[in-house]
Structure 1
Amino acid sequence: MSLTLHRPAILQQLRTETRPYHDALEQNEFNRALLEDSVTPEITHRFLAKLYGFLVPYEARLRQHDFGPEWQIELRQRAHLIPLDLAVEGAQLPLCPQMPELQSWPQLLGAMYVLEGSTLGGQVLARQLAKAGIDARQYFSGHGEQTGPLWKSFCQLLAEAATEDNQAQVVASAAATFQTLHAWIEKP
């Protein structure tokens, strides 16, 4: 007997409609260097510093919203790992001055889709950095063995929270999050 897995409509819509923004973001210097086997500690550090600058205001917005305990928001926050990878104080790193709108519940859900999804890719990146002999991997390793279960938990919660009334806002927020993060990472 085969088991058919059901993918909620919101996840299909998010994946399809944000694909161009996801693909554009992946064309950054860090990912290109990984693909070309030319990643360096300097390139990795620049990328991590940019991620930190985006994650700090994003995570601050998450903390301002009243999520239930099932969302495990504190566990999902990972910006604090980046200064450990970079061996610097977080206050030394610039913050993204122009964040996407993260005021409403659907906007937060869309942004969370982007950042929670990045934890899956982070596992692959951590292995590639290890292969390249680069130690800055705590952020990318993030949740370790809990990464998959946390992603599945998020997907379930997102599917329950998405409604016909807010689905378009969730998708628009995910697209805006990808675009804003991409612009910030590419900014010199």
Structure 2
Amino acid sequence: MTTPPATSGILTRLRTETRPYHEALEENSFNQELTAGRPSREATEHFLTKMYGFVEPYEQRLRQHSFGPAWNIDLRYRAHLILQDLPVEVPTPPLCPSMPPLNTWPQLLGAMYVLEGSTLGGQVITRQLAKAGIPTRAYFSGYGDQTGPLWKSFCQLLVQEATEENQDEIVESASRTFQHLHAWINHA
């Protein structure tokens, strides 16, 4: 099956046009510790707490939409894994009050691009945390051995759903998702 030229560029557009927002997001203190090779348990738990506050409302929005079986949507819910990683004494983290708009199908696709893509980076984070002896890795492990295949599957589905008419909205949603996540993670 060949992909029409109008939709095959969506992944390139997403990578290129969201790059500045993706790079800004990676400038948080947790990623700086990871880059320096010195992740701390405290920074890891803080980052996970912030991620839960974003991922939980995002997943609540996903649950309001219908997905065909090819999406494997039940596998893609991961907020509960964050709670497994946090110490039992940590109260349920607060939720992000300012989520990007996730009302339309293209908006969801853009946000999914960001959150599904984070499973790839999580694989690297898992290895770094293991080296540091930090056991909080259920969330960062993504889908384990299925991370790569599920990412490829998501990308194929995204390309199939992208049209000339909705590409701009998908890219704008991904950009907004990166921006909202950045603001939330860096908010005290």
**TM-score bracket for the superposition, by shorter chain length:** over 0.9
Moved over 4 A (4+): none
Measure, in 2, the Cα distance between the counterparts of 1:174 and 1:156. Answer: 17
Give the CA deviation at 1:91: 6.0
1:18 aligns with 2:18: yes
Measure, in 2, the Cα distance between the counterparts of 1:129 and 1:62. Answer: 29
The amino acid of 1:131's aligned partner reads K
Measure, in 1, the Cα distance between the counterparts of 2:25 and 2:179. Answer: 8
> How does 1:23-172 map onto structure 2 within 5 Å?
23-88=23-88, 92-172=92-172
Measure, in 1, the Cα distance between the counterparts of 2:97 and 2:171. Answer: 22
Query: 1:53, 1:95 within 8 Å by CA — same for their partners in 2?
Result: yes
The amino acid of 2:82's aligned partner reads I
Give the CA deviation at 1:89: 7.5
Match of 1:3 in 2: none
Measure, in 1, the Cα distance between the counterparts of 2:26 and 2:88. Answer: 25
Measure, in 2, the Cα distance between the counterparts of 1:91 and 1:48. Answer: 13
Give the CA deviation at 1:13: 0.3
Query: 2:96, 2:184 within 8 Å by CA — same for their partners in 1?
Result: yes
Query: 2:51, 2:185 within 8 Å by CA — same for their partners in 1?
Result: yes
The amino acid of 2:182's aligned partner reads H
Count of residue correspondences: 183
After superposition, what is the alpha-carbon deviation per residue over 1:100-138, rounded to whole angstroms, capped at 9, x for unaligned? 000000000000000000000000000000011100001
Measure, in 1, the Cα distance between the counterparts of 2:126 and 2:58. Answer: 22
TM-score, normalised to structure 2's length?
Answer: 0.94
RMSD: 1.5
Query: 2:82, 2:138 within 8 Å by CA — same for their partners in 1?
Result: yes
Unmatched runs of 5 consecutive residues or more in structure 1: 1-5
